[in-house]
Structure 1
């Protein structure tokens, strides 16, 4: 097995608990790693027989920009489940979501959650 990774996908969303987050929106960053049987798929050198990461990218962006959640945990779970549903070759989805505009009185870079979903 191997990993197909897309790092630092940036999307503008309207997710959050507070009304300001839903009204004003914010930037999220998403990393995804997909466990796939590269040792089998990589020998054929055919895009239609592997996981097309351009389509994976489009799937993630579409979900993040069209669905609205209070929690980034819910967004991550929805994306992970949908990737498993759409891409049958994927065995495991690892997803990280970073949120920078977090209403916490403190000094920090971001809040990040990570989820791993197995088929």
Structure 2
């Protein structure tokens, strides 16, 4: 299967468990990788036979900058649901959400999650 991706998307959001995250907000970095057949697009050179990067970015942005969630897991589920709901060509989504500066003590580069989902049915 083929893959289409956008890496390093940056959004400012108000997600998190701690009150300061909901009040002050923070930077989130998101990578999305979609598994689908790109054959038809490759043979026809037509955008309607693939997934539009701009629309994919917009879908991720609307969730990331939308209603706050406590957990990255909830954000990731919402993004995956949105992607599957708007792109019937996509069979699988791999999503990575990172917080480079969460309000937790310690020395680390970033924290985050990776979620992989397959289309149901």
Q: TM bucket by the smaller chain?
A: over 0.9
1:107 and 2:114 are equivalent in the alignment: no
After superposition, what is the alpha-carbon deviation per residue over 1:9-63, rounded to whole angstroms, capped at 9, x for unaligned? 0000000011110000000000000001012332111012211011100110111
> Counterparts of 2:93 and 2:42 in 1: how far apart (Å)?
19
Task: Show structure 1 runs of 4+ deviating over 2 A.
Answer: none
TM-score (norm 1): 0.96
Determine if contact 1:81/1:117 at 8 Å carries over to the other structure: no
SS of equivalent residue, structure 1 residue 57: helix
Pairwise CA RMSD:
0.9
Q: What is the deviation of 1:104?
A: 2.2
Determine if contact 2:40/2:49 at 8 Å carries over to the other structure: no
> Counterparts of 2:112 and 2:77 in 1: how far apart (Å)?
14
Provide the aligned length of Structure 1 versus Structure 2.
119
> Counterparts of 2:20 and 2:44 in 1: how far apart (Å)?
50
Partner of 1:95: 95
Structure 1: stretches of 5+ with no match in the other structure: none
> Counterparts of 2:9 and 2:48 in 1: how far apart (Å)?
23
SS of equivalent residue, structure 1 residue 66: coil
> Counterparts of 1:104 and 1:52 in 2: how far apart (Å)?
37
Structure 2: stretches of 5+ with no match in the other structure: none
